[in-house]
Structures are given as structure tokens and as C-alpha cells.
Structure 1
Amino acid sequence: MPDPTATVTEVAGRRLRLTHLDRVLYPGTGFTKAALLHYYTRVAPAMLRQLAGRPASFLRLPEGVDGQRFWAKRVPPGSPDWVPRLAVTHRTETMPQVVVDDLPTLLWAANLGCLEFHVPQWRTDPATHDRLIIDLDPGEGTGLLECCVVALTARHLLAEDGLTAFPKTTGSKGLHLSVPLQPAPAEAAGEYARALARRLRRALPELVVDQMAKELRPGRVFVDWSQNNSAKTTVAAYSLRARPAPAVSAPLGWPELAAARRPEDLVFTPDAVAQRLAADGDPHAGLADPGLAGRLPV
């Protein structure tokens, strides 16, 4: 059946057919597909800096958060020729993946029901990382405020090693710290992340756990160093999350993270994130600055 809400538009010289614009993607709030596309248009200048050059993985929910969801890595059949792509070798095959380098590609993907955008810590070569991710995952009985304590300590330890960290919410329960690197071997990045997790456990023994066992996590923040594995991806800054309400993985400034007194202080709607970006700029702009890329300690 033809979609009566479909519209054909041109974005940066690319023709896009946008469909089902009145579809409610988040039934709890009435947030529609049109609102999704509008949000990603507003934050695109900052979000594209975090996506550019990296093969994307999409969490697709064409019918919204209450419908079927599935991961998509391979370029979908029938994709426009102009969609950038990169051949990525996985364990058993090499497949083309989308590289979200521009606004038309971002909106094309969102129109397919891609609510979440995830990228790895490398660009073209999985063996060479240019970003470190510190994933702070709160266990039962802990939350965002406990993650803030760990994040501030991690910032200090990273700075001792000449590394600069940029915090963001996950859009769920925890925090991510993104660290720009001079290109480094994947193994070295992973080893450093694991060593940092151990240092955090020693610094905050009553709060931090660095082992995978779930029975160790209640009352602790798990520092998930394994997120630096080349096969893994992390939700991109400014991406929406597929949760009951449309929360965002929102970049933060260190002062507001340090000043947070309630978990609600660090939970942001899409509109709030877009307004923050327009008023204050992008707290993660420095991630794309080559001058801030640090060298891993030997």
C-alpha cells in the first residue's frame, strides 16, 4: 500500500524518499519518525564528526521501540550508489558496511528505522585504533552518580599518561569516556584499557570491579575494558537509544559531570541535546582534533 505521508526531498544534492513520517517510534511519548529525522538533522554537524570514516553498525527498529529490532552491518540491498561504504573483514567473511560521512547518508539510514548508530574504535584497519573507550557500566544498586565518581578518577589517571578524555552518557545507565589516540596497535589499546581498569579498581576498591563475572557487580561500577576489542562497537555520540523514551547518548562537559547531584541531571531528551548543541557547541569537538590525540604509554 502506498505511503500517503511519503515525501521526496533533496539533501545536499542527494534525492531521498522519506516514508511513514507519522509513524510513532516511541509510543510512550508520541515521538514520530518525522521527529527522528528532524533531530538527526539538527545534530548532524557534530554527530558526523564522530561517525565519519568508521564502518557503522545499525540497530534498526522500523516499527518503533515496541516492534521487531535487529542489527544491520551489511549495506542493505537496493541502497543508493552514493551511500559511502567500506569493505570490512570479519571472522568468516568480508562485507561492505555503510560509512556515515554526510547528512544524506545519516537521514537515509534513519529513514530505514536506524535508531541507534554504533561505530568501532578504528577507521579503515581493525588492527589500528585511533580511539580508546572507557565503558562504565553500573551494577545493581549503583547508577550514574557512582559512574561520575569513577569517571573523574579515570580522567585523572588518563591525564597522568598524557591522554585526554571526553565524557558522554550512554543514553542508558552508564557513562563512556572517549580518548583520542595517535594510531596504535589494537592489542596495545586493549592492554592499556585493561590495565587502566585495574588501576581504577585499586584506586576505588569499594566501588570498581574490573572482572566480567556478573556476581561481582552489585554495588559496583564495572569498567568494561573489553569494549576496545576490534570486533566490538560503541554507540556514537548524539545517537538515540532504543528505550521506552527517546534518550540520547549525550556528550558532556567535565564541569557538569562533576556538578551532577541527581541521575536526572545527566538524562537528556533529543530536543534538549539539540538545544544544548546550538547554544553551547559540541563538548566532543576536540575528539576530532589531531593535536589532542595522545600516544599510549609504552
Structure 2
Amino acid sequence: MAPITEVEGRRVALSNLEKVLYPATGFTKAELLHYYATTAEVLLPHLRDRPVSFLRYPDGPDGQLFFTKNVPPGTPEWVTTAEVPRSEGPARMVLVQDLPSLMWAANLVTEFHTHQWVADDPGEADRLVFDLDPGPPATVVHCCEVALWLRERLAADGVEAFAKTSGAKGLHLLAAVRGSSSERVSEYAKALAVEAERAMPRLVVHRMTRSLRPGKVFVDWSQNAARKTTAAPYTVRARTEPAVSAPVTWEEVARCRRAEQLVFRAGEVGPRVQDHGDLLAPLFDRRRAAALP
């Protein structure tokens, strides 16, 4: 039987703590849970009130991976859930609102993915996102070049952008927006992706077609669709190493000359938070949320 731990008055079962999830580094499930517990202060605001999808990898990234959107079987009754709209009809999803529900979800061994809207108002997007995905031999260094262009272009429309690593090989740009549907945000993001391709045709592609992507950065605007999700800030990814989707400064983006400079593992995130706080905290300031042109 899994040991029971009390977390803020809730009983949470934590299982298989010694299991090695990342053989390349020896990183265990206990270390994963410790990471989420110690970064909860900055992670939880990015999950709270957002229906969460789980990419589960209970046997590590080399084992089976499966995506869970509906409330998983065995979810404790005290975990908050919400009914959300889907094209095939309403569904019920998990809301990770507090430390107990975060630790329960982390025990499932999961990446956290969120929509660009909150459960109380699924009709309005409050985030704009670009997923910059490099096609080899392009790397995150090339993503940084594209990110800097997009930052300036967004600023011209009064939209303030922030960056984080994808935790894989690319970069994510995020901005707080208001007064627009997911469809409108998607249209705007696509237009900027097309504009970026015209400005940097040797570097950027806005279409998902695989044959177009080698050596270029795919500016994925499609994750703004209401049904789509993006890896949440601070989530650990199911990759060879326990790399994190970590917020970065624009100075770090501008200085990046080697891909390794923008790889942050779970053990490195705590010190970064101590030094910088949450670099994405401005996303929660509604006074800085932009109305799209």
C-alpha cells in the first residue's frame, strides 16, 4: 500500500518513491515530487482555475506515455473539477487549485498542460501563445532570433511578451490578452506567424508540414485554439532528462549562442526562482493584458 502523507489537511497517497524515472540521470519519483512541492508557489498560479490535461509517463519517458483530459479514475473527491465545453459535448476536467491537488497529480507522474482560458470563462482567451519549434539542424538558438523579432512585433501592437523554454528543444512566448475569443487570438497569432515568415523566409515557417521544417523554426500559432493546450510553466517534461519548461529573461534569450544555455533541469529551477522570482508573474496583472488590434 502506498504511504499516506498529509498535505495541508488532505490525505495524499504517494507511491513508488524510489522508482527511477529518468535512467540517464538517476532522477527518482521522490525527487520529482520534491521538485513540485518546492516550486508550488510559482507553479500553482499558472495552473489555478485552468482545466488541466495530463501527459502521464508513470514508468518514465522511455515507457508508455498517454494523454488524459477527463478526470482520471480514482480522483479524490476533494480535488476540484469543472465542466468544460467540447465539440462532442461537455466534459469534466481537473483543476489543480492547491498544494494537495498538485501533489496528488504529481504522484501520477505527469506533465501539466493548460488551455489559454480559465474554467469560469471558456469563451474568452486570456493568454496568447507561440510555440517556436526548431527543425534540425536548427536549434533553440534560432528560436531565440525569431522570439526577439516576435517580441518587437507584438510590442508594436501593445502586446507584452514573455518567454520560457519548452522543456524540450524550443521556446514558448506568452502574453496576457483580454476581450478576444480563442478564434480571434488564433487569427491574430497566425497573421503574425505569416508575417514572421515573410520577414525571415530562410528561418521561419508557419505551416506544420514536416517537409518544410528542416533547418527552420516552425512558429506554431495553432495552440491558441480553444481545444488546444500548451505545457504549463514549470512543468517537468517527459524527456531524456528532467528538463523543465522554465521562464527565461529576455537578456538570456538575446545572449543565447548554444542550445545548452537554455536547458534547465529540475534541480536548477529552485535557485533561479530565488534569484528572479516568477519571471511570468506579470501575466497575472490584468492592467497589462492587451486588447488585440
- TM-score bracket, shorter-length normalisation: over 0.9
Question: 203, 222, 229: which one pairs with 1:226?
Answer: 222
Listed as ranges, the matches of 1:160-199 within 5 Å are 160-199=156-195
Give the stretch that moved more between structures: 197-206 or 235-244.
Answer: 197-206
* Cα distance in structure 2, aligned partners of 1:211 and 1:21: 42
* Structure 1 runs of 4+ with >4 Å offset: none
Partner residue, 1:250: 246
Equivalences for residues 199-278 of structure 1 within 5 A: 199-278=195-274
CA drift of 1:265 comes to 0.5
Alpha-carbon separation, structure 1, partners of 2:153 and 2:162: 14
Residue in 2 aligned with 1:77? 73
2:115 equivalent to 1:120: yes
2 CA distance for matches of 1:254 and 1:67? 35
- Alpha-carbon distance, 1:212 to partner: 2.3
Q: Which residue in 2 is equivalent to 1:110?
A: 106
User: Separation in 2 of the partners of 1:213 and 1:77?
Assistant: 36
Residues in 2 aligned to 1:90 and 1:239: alpha-carbon distance in whole angstroms: 25
Contact 2:71 2:92 in 1 (8 A): yes
Aligned residues: 292
8 A Cα contact 2:51 2:95, kept in partner: yes
Quote how far apart the aligned CAs of 1:280 are. Answer: 2.1
TM-score relative to the length of structure 2: 0.96
Preserved CA contact (<8 Å) 2:234 2:244: yes
Q: Distance in 2 between matches of 1:210 and 1:231?
A: 20
Which range moved further: 123-132 or 95-104? 123-132
Match of 1:101 in 2: 97
The Cα shift of 1:290 comes to 1.0
SS in structure 2 of the partner of residue 279 of structure 1: helix
Say which is worse superposed, 143-152 or 184-193, in terms of deviation: 184-193
8 A contact 2:154–2:161 mirrored in 1: yes
Q: 1:208 and 1:61 mapped to 2: Cα distance?
A: 32
Which residue is 1:135 aligned to? 131
- Corresponding residue SS for 1:40: helix
Structure 2 unaligned residues grouped into runs of 5+: none
Matches within 5 A, 1:148-163: 148-163=144-159
Per-residue CA deviations over 1:79-107 (Å, capped at 9, x if unaligned) read 11110111112222322100111111111
Distance (whole Å) between structure 1 residues aligned to residue 21 and residue 191 of structure 2 = 41
One of 18, 23, 40 as aligned partner of 1:22: 18
Letter in 2 for 1:148: C
Contact 2:20 2:60 (8 Å CA) reproduced: yes
C-alpha distance in structure 2 between counterparts of 1:183 and 1:41, whole Å: 34
Residue 292 (structure 2) pairs with residue 284 (structure 1): no
- Write the distance in 1 (CA, Å) between the matches of 2:166 and 2:19: 25
Q: Following the alignment from structure 1 to structure 2, what is the Cα–Cα distance between the partners of residues 7 and 280?
A: 35
2:8 to 6, 12, 15: 12
2:223 corresponds to which letter in structure 1? Q
Which is further off, 177-186 or 6-15?
6-15
SS in structure 1 of the partner of residue 248 of structure 2: coil
Q: Secondary structure at the match of 2:163?
A: strand
Alignment partner, residue 65 of structure 1? 61
Distance 1:126 1:199 in 2: 28
CA positional deviation for 1:111: 0.7
Q: Is the 8 A contact 2:4 2:11 kept in 1?
A: yes
- How far 1:77 sits from its partner (Å)? 2.1
Tell me the secondary structure at the aligned position of residue 56 of structure 1.
Answer: strand
Task: State the identity %.
Answer: 52
TM-score (structure 1 length as normaliser): 0.95
- The 3-state SS of whatever aligns with 1:255 is helix
Structure 1 spans left out of the alignment, 5+ residues? none
Distance 1:65 1:209 in 2: 29
